[in-house]
Structure 1
Amino acid sequence: MVSVSKNERSKYLTDVVIIRLSLIFLLVFYHSFAIYSGNWSSPFFFPLDIPVYYWLSVCSHGFRLEAMTFISGLLLGYTVKRYPERMSFNGCVIKKIKRILLPCILFSAIYFFIFSEANMTWYESVYEIMIGCGHLWYLPMVFWCFVLIFIIETYTTTSVKVLLSITFLLSLLPLQGFLPLRLGYTINFFIYFYIGYLIMKHDVTEKIKISAFYCVLGILIYFLIGILLKEWIMELNPSSLMMHGIQILLMRASHLTGALAMILAFYGISNFAYVSGYIAKHPRFIKLSGYCYGVYIYQQFILLLLYFHTNMPIILGPVALPWVACIITICLSLLMCHLTLKTRLGKFLIG
């Protein structure tokens, strides 16, 4: 077993804490504004047309889930580097079934019975719950990422460069709706998980660390240009099937490179001495980061109830609604996490 110094562990935790807290805020922020970008239906009886809110939604969504997947891979790489024996069927499959799939099924069943309006047979309903209703689709997707890493590390001898190239190319294919059990989503997201895993496992953090402010600023500008490019490509009307395929590949390539750029920027910012030092001196942020899993699960329940099962949209109107809903959702999600973690079952589910 490799020993880890207190300073090394503390520094690593600040990396993860900063990114986790940033991403969980962006998650709630994005969902609060999703009604303005067409990703959620409108709670009003009239169409919503607030361009600023549309772009806030689009920009906050362009890399968030990808960065969350990157962090999951980063954590696995950190664990395997220090405890190689955890690269096992028990560590990567059995424990992840308990950690990821069981909470997914429980909360997915609750989500289904509260929000589902589809007329399904019993077996269709069971399948929908198993693969994650609503935002919970992400959990089985990331579970398969752990399974894929276990298979790669245990049964393949292919070089890392070849595997990275394969996962990069596969991520460009629109497979999300074509494979069962969220495997299509896994193929599209695995590149981020694998990169995070390799960075930590092979200890290349120092080689990619960004220390220059202007470098981070340049990456941010690149990301915004990528968002604009993707939106422009989406508006094109291809005249043939081949051109439509090229359009999809260009959109996915723009999204992939933009997301990777923002992940790199976030990872660089989290390693700024001032930022990591501030987090290290304020342990309450580390505690808050432990609530991120629970906030992820609870936030969409709260927002959907606020938007579609209360009079809040009518009372506040379309301009103030997302800001107030975002604040309320963050506060209620944190409170529910705090209360849930006080119970034994709650610690098992989101601890």
Structure 2
Amino acid sequence: MGLIVSALGVGIALLSLLWDVWKSRSGGSGYGFIFGRSARGGALHYLKALEGDDGYFDNVPSAGALREGLARGLVEGIVRSYSKKRHRVISGTFDTLAALAFYVGSAYCLIVLVEEWFKGLGKARLVQLVLAGLDFVAPGFVLFELILLIGLVVNMLRVSYLRIRARWYRKASQAREVPITYVRELISTKKRFLFMDATLCSGYYPVVTDQCSAVRSLLAAAYSGGDACELRRTELGQVKEKGYKECVIRLVSAFVRQFIGGRDEDVTLFVFSEYGVTSVEVVNALRNQGFVAYDLGHVSDRERIFMRSITQMTLLWDCDLMGG
């Protein structure tokens, strides 16, 4: 009986944790999301009432403004919900390792519970075979979990070290970072904008560029033009490469030719890189060529936030709901 109670307790705890993880990754709105009840439903209900066939609001001057406000809020709510669900997948090394560690640890707990349950079923041959199999599998899960946890710690230490050095570099360069949450205030409905991944190094996978159509990669422009400089493993190593600044100027010129069309193009650029290091010199090069460019800093461990924000702002701009 005690084993059953313990199993139920562990099961409830695991389900609760899974529920919290799902909510944080999916952007769902709890039980209201599951049963289809949300603020969007209320806005849609009132909008339909204003557009009814009874004609009650046809001669009310403020009804038109109210319809427009409700419709705008409804569209923005749909866009926010879509952007969250569109990018709820795991991204980045830390997310992947953490998810694997959680699933492997949960599987091991399940194996232990099943093993304890089978031990109470007697000495039957089938029971003994199952127990032998569980005894064989369990150490493998323990070893795998240990490797994942070590990987998590190593990754955290590496990222922390690189981020501290990157912060020092940005401070010495007097680089000013614009938070991603303020980008919307800098976008106009009359001026095209573009997000630019300015990461220059070999040990980087462009997650944001890969999933957001509004993002262009500086490295892609470099490779397509055959003008890529020698790449180091990290951004911090790249800035120490001989001729780094000259290389950035060449790559930015290639980027402008390929993705913007020329220096006379009226476009605002929002620049970021993995640790916010190479983005500093890229922003300077863009401004020297006459462009309006803002440095968003590092994207490392913020990939999901960037992807959601970029998707949301792009859709709102396409709907003429962005800026002034």
| TM bin (shorter chain) | under 0.3
Q: Which has the higher contact order (CA 8 A, sep 6+)?
A: 1
**Structure number, greater radius of gyration:** 2
Taking structure 1 as the reference length, what is the TM-score of the superposition? Answer: 0.23
Higher helix share: 1
Taking structure 2 as the reference length, what is the TM-score of the superposition? Answer: 0.24
